[in-house]
Amino acid sequence: MKQGAYETGHYRNLFTEFDIDPKLVDEKVQKTWDQLFTNQYPDYQIYFETDDGMGYMVDTGNDDVRTEGQSYGMMMAVQMDQQEVFDRIWKWSKTYMYMDEGIHKGYFAWSCALDGTKNAHGPAPDGEEYFAMALFFASNRWGDKEAPFDYSKQAKALLHDCVHKGENNDGHPMWEPSNHLIKFVPEVDFSDPSYHIPHFYELFAEWANPEDHDFWKKAAEASRDYIRLAAHNETGLSPEYAFYNGEPNHIRGFGDFFSDSYRVVCNVGLDYEWFRRSNTPTEVNEKVQAFFKDIPVEDYRRYTVDGKPFEEKSLHPIGLLASLAMASLATTGELQKHYVEKFWNTPLRTGERRYYDNCLYFFSLLSLAGKFKIWK
């Protein structure tokens, strides 16, 4: 069994493997960062700074700031060695999104207005897990500073709450203790397959508080099994919400393959690149890539998990294509080549819906270029 990048320190550049000039790859990565994170390219920009030393990522389709976007921005910044941007985003998140009282004390409000006013007082676990991972990477890459930039301490405290909250009747944990599966939100008994990031949990098992190391090892294994369980046997498509037995949960219409679902194959791809475990569900990526092989990007839609299309078009077709390309980290042959080259020749999205598409786009670009790294 070949080893992943965690053991070897080697990250594949799939673009250069298909004869794209490495200089062009580096230039595209930098240009994409500039487009998203500077005011040089207003048609693409999703990161904005305040006069008081903070910064935020705007969900341009909903005109708000989300823990998803903030934590994504921090991960992008640490991968690009942009500590000032990282600290600005973290300071904004701690100032406006952090909840220091009530049943969600220790978590972050999932949505805020652009002025920092909380739109909701509940958390979304995908934000917390990305916050924690980005903070650990920041600690390892740059070193801890004074609070709130004592990165590793912040990450450990957050993960402690994610696991142990509720033990003293003080709220609900973000992972179900009985099966080690991440919840959609702390108060419910179902999951979101795209929240499952086993390669993060492998690292939490090393860097979180020692008493929780075993929990995170079990969470990594449980999540790999769950991704396989929730994906349709033939199409590989995953629902946005699913019960713990893997069956689609159609509450509020979220039991189909739609926007959240795109991230599943991204997570499988990066998990395989980093750790290459024997039980990584790479077949899910192969099935999903095969399903979309002959569908033009402009025809991407919402689908039932068994592959029946709705009339409703995809809200984020570039994001879906980016995900299919990132899936190539765990596939081979013509499917891998098809999506890597198709993605390379596709530009960033403009317009009001650009935020989610271009977040997935940049993560895919970093990953395929061998620049989405574990910082130990």
The C-alpha R_g of the chain, in whole angstroms, comes to 19
% residues pLDDT > 90 (the chain)? 99
The predicted structure's pLDDT at residue 114: 98
Positions marked active-site = 68, 260
CATH number of 49-173: 1.50.10.10
Considering the chain, what is the average pLDDT of its residues?
Answer: 98
Amino acid at 365: L
On the question of pLDDT at 100 being above 90, the answer is yes
Residue 95 near residue 147 (C-beta atoms within 8 A) = no
Longest dimension (CA), the chain: 57
Average pLDDT over residues 8-14: 98
Question: How many residues does the structure list for the chain?
Answer: 376
What is the per-residue pLDDT for 228? 98
Burial class from Cβ neighbours inside 10 Å (0-12, 13-18, 19+) for residue 300 reads buried
Q: In the predicted model, what is the mean pLDDT of residues 282-303?
A: 98
Would you state the structure tokens that stand for residue 374, as one six-digit string?
């574990």
Q: What is the pLDDT of residues 22-49, one digit of tens each?
A: 999 999 999 999 999 999 999 999 999 9
Scanning the structure block, which residue is given the tokens 């005109």?
63
pLDDT over 90 at 93, yes or no:
yes
Angstrom distance (rounded) from CA 270 to CA 332 = 14
Segment (H or E) for 5: helix 5-8
Does the domain formed by 1-45+212-376 have CATH 1.50.10.10?
A: yes
Q: Which amino acid is at 170?
A: D
The Cα–Cα gap between 303 and 288 comes to 12
Task: State the Cα–Cα distance between residues 95 and 98, nearest whole angstrom.
Answer: 7
pLDDT at 2: 82
246 HSE (CA, 13 A, CB side):
16
- Chain centroid to Cα 352, Å, comes to 21
pLDDT tens-digit readout, 181-213: 999 999 999 999 999 999 999 999 999 999 999
What is the token pair recorded at 323? Answer: 């995900």
pLDDT-based confidence at 251, cuts 50/70/90?
A: very high
Angle, helices 263-274 vs 317-326, to 10°: value is: 20
Q: What is the 3-state secondary structure (H, E, C) of 70-83?
A: HHHHHHHHHHCCCH
Could you check whether 1-45+212-376 and 49-173 share the same CATH topology? yes
Residues 6 or more apart from 162 whose CB is under 8 A from it? 125, 128, 129, 132, 173, 174, 175
CA neighbours closer than 13 Å in the CB half-sphere of residue 329: 34
Quote the pLDDT of residue 52. Answer: 96
Domain ranges of the chain: 1-45+212-376, 49-173
Indicate the residue type of 118.
Answer: K
The predicted-structure confidence for 39-77, as pLDDT tens digits, reads as follows 999 999 999 999 999 999 999 999 999 999 999 999 999
Residue 137 has pLDDT above 70, yes or no: yes
Tell which phi-psi region holds residue 102, choosing left (phi > 0), alpha (psi between -120 and 50) or beta.
left
Provide the terminal-to-terminal Cα distance of the chain, rounded to the nearest Å. 23
pLDDT over 80 at 344, yes or no: yes
